Structure 1
Amino acid sequence: MYRICVRGCVSERLGSAFEGMRLEPGPAETGFAGEICDQSQLFGLLDRVRDLGLELVSVQPQEAAVRPEDSVPDVTVQDGR
């Protein structure tokens, strides 16, 4: 997971250029968050930021949320004596 922040408020229409990313609008910055598979995809998104004339504020890796089905169950082993 990554979060890319740009300066200003980005409309949903402009945000649709970042397919697969979740738009997180804010008053002074807009974030795009989502799964990025490799550096090629990351650089492609950063190229899109530049091509659209957006001012890049930050790029931050995010910890992926753990889904319940991905978690390891708590198992208690009992002594059979």
Structure 2
Amino acid sequence: MSETQGSTESRHDGFYEIRMKGHLDARWAYWFEGMSLTRARDGTTVLYGPVTDQAALHGMLRKIRDLGLPLVSVIQKKKGTNP
């Protein structure tokens, strides 16, 4: 791989917007540490925030699967660009 351990990059892989069909109750927010949870008017729930690495992203996607909510989209965002 081309990455080095002493990289000066930030400690996370990027910011992600993860949209799922259905409204996720606010009590589930703790399950997605560091992510904001927004229930959109279109009937979707949007998780937004920093993701440490690909393993953490896949862990979040497993949690969404376990909740039974269909995944609509996963978009990597530039830091600071809110959904």
TM-score by length of 2: 0.73
- Give 4+ residue runs of structure 1 displaced > 6 Å after superposition: none
More strand by share: 2
User: What residue ranges of structure 2 are gaps of 5+ in the alignment?
Assistant: 1-14
Within the candidate set 41, 45, 53, 2:60 is matched to 45
Aligned pair count? 66
| Identity score, percent | 38
The alignment yields a C-alpha RMSD, in angstroms, of 1.4
User: What residue ranges of structure 1 are gaps of 5+ in the alignment?
Assistant: 67-81
Which residue in 2 is equivalent to 1:11?
A: 25
Deviation at 1:15, TM superposition (A): 3.0
Aligned equivalents of 1:2, 1:32: Cα separation in 2: 8
TM-score by length of 1: 0.74
